[in-house]
Chains A and B, each alone.
Chain A
């Protein structure tokens, strides 16, 4: 999967919201890529753009998304429908509301299998039981007949994973899969994703704001700010040698369980509104190392070391 110069804009009465503005990234085979950023940085819009789930007033206005050699943005809606849930599956943030409350969990997973795979009726049922067992639902044969409200939050997320993986996707997109869950349940789900990843050998695009969760699963991290990619590198580099001032500041501003700190580093100000982002580098009004050029020109993303890309004028000489 390769994303080149993706632009997804929302056209609202007040103007154009450039939610994703010339974003490029790639996900290698069997790799887990994490996209980190704060709310409104465009990370979820990237995920929705890949599956072409952008609704009015939003529109993908530029760029390309190449998946298995084909540009997804050129696909017809019916072709997209076979890809969604088939080759590319998605797990959403809020598991309890992503399941339909009036159908049993089993029938919803069965529906996904029926749509994408050529299996007869009895086979579907077996597959559902098998998948629910794999994601750790106890006594799947009975629990498949339950309705979503009879499941806890963690179990709903497991059921979503079962649905997503039931068609052996090549790419699994997980948008904040553990955000609404308690820490102990979060640990269970992270453990499960890790185990399933080995079994199904799918690539993962994990979207989130929690660096801790990212470290548990990802091989590479892309940091987004205000609709742009500001830095990307492998996991260890991001934490040991972050280069972009935003990545650095963000890492220093979170309280950590393993580091004693009297005071937290503060990034002044707020995340800018995307309707009128600051000119030049979008982080410059909050940046400690901002220079004259930062407010005038926009930095382009450059490779400073092998596999480590940064969009900042500090590194462009």
Chain B
């Protein structure tokens, strides 16, 4: 068993909603509501779910770009949420993020050299010619040429911007990379370039990756394990081949069957009714039960826990009795 680099325990993030004359808190958006999982060294975990399920909030909370409501995230055994500002700052070198929108995540007034060099400056990693050498090396690694060095973000296409974002993330030599929908805003023919690049870089640098996306086909391509999220909770977590060949949760099954496959017309598709309920007031019991096509009376009362039904295959559904797990 390889070493665990990040252990997330019962993480919750509720965004308060204020209302009334006194602006008291009247409700909360339960964006992430008790999520536990771990990421092992050099592994990619794919986090899938529909919009509003809390996957982005989860990714950002792990990096403490958003402060959690409760729970813990142990990075190499240390709880990230208990670290002071200076310690946290040091840790940011080891945990980097690639954002969804490469157009918005690069400062338009900084040159590429400044953008990629900024983490090196902040953490005093390199100065002068050494810094320049590092920047060139990073640019080359992500497929940019040195003459791009003193250009500004607007001179680049979407795919190239995403390469710059990746170079910046790699500057601190991270152990964990959170990639939030890194290709969803790119053209179809450019997506493959970025996906291949991320895979190559992971082989070379050996970082772990939390790959967040709503697109199951890219998640399948990128991940070793997949976590499926619905309304702030994980409903299934398993190795990629188990998720796709043997999905257990009815939501996962519906999600997989809903993907349109090029060159195929499927008539046996599972079509869910309605849409995702609001996370302000999630349904009681299993959060998926109002849309579930296999719901039983108990699903509306109790909340199923994420249990291991087979080795490394976790499901939160009453339809799955707990089995003896061979160890």
Chain A contact residues, CB within 8 Å of chain B: 38-39, 152-155, 182-188, 190-191, 209-216, 235-236, 238-240, 249-251, 253-258, 261, 263-268, 270-271, 286
- Closest Cβ–Cβ distance, residue A206 to chain B (whole Å): 12
Partner of B276 from the list A182, A188, A216, A251 (CB cut-off 8 Å) is: A182
Partner of A183 from the list B193, B216, B263 (CB cut-off 8 Å) is: B216
Contact A261 B51 (CB under 8 A): no
Partner of B188 from the list A153, A191, A254 (CB cut-off 8 Å) is: A254
- Closest Cβ–Cβ distance, residue B118 to chain A (whole Å): 26
Looking at B132-140, B172-180, B254-262, the stretch in contact with chain A turns out to be B254-262
Please give, as numbers and ranges, the residues of chain A lying within 8 Å of B217 by CB-CB distance. 254-257
Q: Is B41's beta carbon under 8 Å from chain A?
A: no
Question: Which of A214, A240, A255 has most chain B Cβ within 10 Å?
Answer: A255
Please give, as numbers and ranges, the residues of chain B lying within 8 Å of A256 by CB-CB distance. 217, 261-262
Please give, as numbers and ranges, the residues of chain B lying within 8 Å of A184 by CB-CB distance. 50, 254-255, 258, 271-272, 275
Q: How many residues of B contact A (CB 8 A)?
A: 40
Contact A240 B263 (CB under 8 A): yes
The 8 closest A-B CB pairs, nearest first, are A212-B260, A239-B263, A255-B221, A211-B262, A253-B192, A264-B192, A187-B258, A182-B50
- Closest Cβ–Cβ distance, residue A164 to chain B (whole Å): 21
A183-B214, A263-B199, A266-B196 known; A251-B262 Cβ under 8 A? yes
Contact A183 B271 (CB under 8 A): no
Q: What per-residue 1/0 map shows which CB atoms of B173-213 lie under 8 Å from chain A? A: 00000000000000111111101100100000000000000
* CB<8 Å pairs between A and B, sample of 21: A155-B275, A184-B50, A187-B257, A191-B271, A209-B188, A211-B262, A212-B260, A212-B262, A239-B263, A250-B189, A255-B218, A255-B220, A255-B221, A256-B261, A257-B261, A258-B261, A264-B195, A270-B159, A270-B160, A271-B189, A286-B189
Partner of B275 from the list A152, A215, A253, A268 (CB cut-off 8 Å) is: A152
Partner of A215 from the list B187, B218, B258, B263 (CB cut-off 8 Å) is: B263
- Bound state CA distance, A257 and B265, in angstroms? 14
Chain B contact residues, CB within 8 Å of chain A: 50-51, 157, 159-160, 187-193, 195-196, 199, 214, 216-218, 220-221, 244, 254-266, 269, 271-272, 275-276
Contacts A183-B50, A183-B259, A270-B190 known; 12 new A-B pairs at CB < 8 A:
A182-B276, A212-B262, A213-B260, A215-B263, A250-B188, A254-B191, A255-B218, A256-B262, A264-B221, A266-B196, A267-B190, A286-B189
Please give, as numbers and ranges, the residues of chain B lying within 8 Å of A238 by CB-CB distance. 263
Please give, as numbers and ranges, the residues of chain B lying within 8 Å of A239 by CB-CB distance. 262-263
Closest to B220 in A: A257
Contact B191 A253 (CB under 8 A): yes
Contact B263 A186 (CB under 8 A): no
- Bound state CA distance, A274 and B207, in angstroms? 39
- Bound state CA distance, A65 and B129, in angstroms? 61
* Interface class of chain A by DSSP: helix
Please give, as numbers and ranges, the residues of chain B lying within 8 Å of A185 by CB-CB distance. 50, 275
Please give, as numbers and ranges, the residues of chain B lying within 8 Å of A235 by CB-CB distance. 263
Please give, as numbers and ranges, the residues of chain A lying within 8 Å of B271 by CB-CB distance. 184, 187-188, 191
- Closest Cβ–Cβ distance, residue B88 to chain A (whole Å): 34
Contact A216 B192 (CB under 8 A): no
Contact B265 A215 (CB under 8 A): yes
A211-B263, A215-B260, A215-B261 known; A187-B269 Cβ under 8 A? yes
Closest to A253 in B: B192
- Bound state CA distance, A257 and B257, in angstroms? 10
Please give, as numbers and ranges, the residues of chain B lying within 8 Å of A182 by CB-CB distance. 50-51, 214, 275-276
- Closest Cβ–Cβ distance, residue B111 to chain A (whole Å): 20
Please give, as numbers and ranges, the residues of chain A lying within 8 Å of B193 by CB-CB distance. 266-268
Closest to B269 in A: A187
- Closest Cβ–Cβ distance, residue A122 to chain B (whole Å): 31
- Bound state CA distance, A20 and B266, in angstroms? 33
- Bound state CA distance, A236 and B265, in angstroms? 10
Please give, as numbers and ranges, the residues of chain B lying within 8 Å of A267 by CB-CB distance. 189-190, 192-193
Closest to B222 in A: A255
- Bound state CA distance, A256 and B195, in angstroms? 13
Contact B259 A212 (CB under 8 A): yes
- Bound state CA distance, A266 and B191, in angstroms? 9
Question: Which of A210, A249, A266 has most chain B Cβ within 10 Å?
Answer: A266
- Closest Cβ–Cβ distance, residue B66 to chain A (whole Å): 22
Please give, as numbers and ranges, the residues of chain A lying within 8 Å of B261 by CB-CB distance. 212, 215, 256-258
Contact B192 A265 (CB under 8 A): yes
Partner of A186 from the list B159, B258, B264 (CB cut-off 8 Å) is: B258
Please give, as numbers and ranges, the residues of chain B lying within 8 Å of A152 by CB-CB distance. 275
- Bound state CA distance, A258 and B188, in angstroms? 18
Contact B189 A38 (CB under 8 A): yes
- Closest Cβ–Cβ distance, residue A188 to chain B (whole Å): 6
- Bound state CA distance, A192 and B216, in angstroms? 22
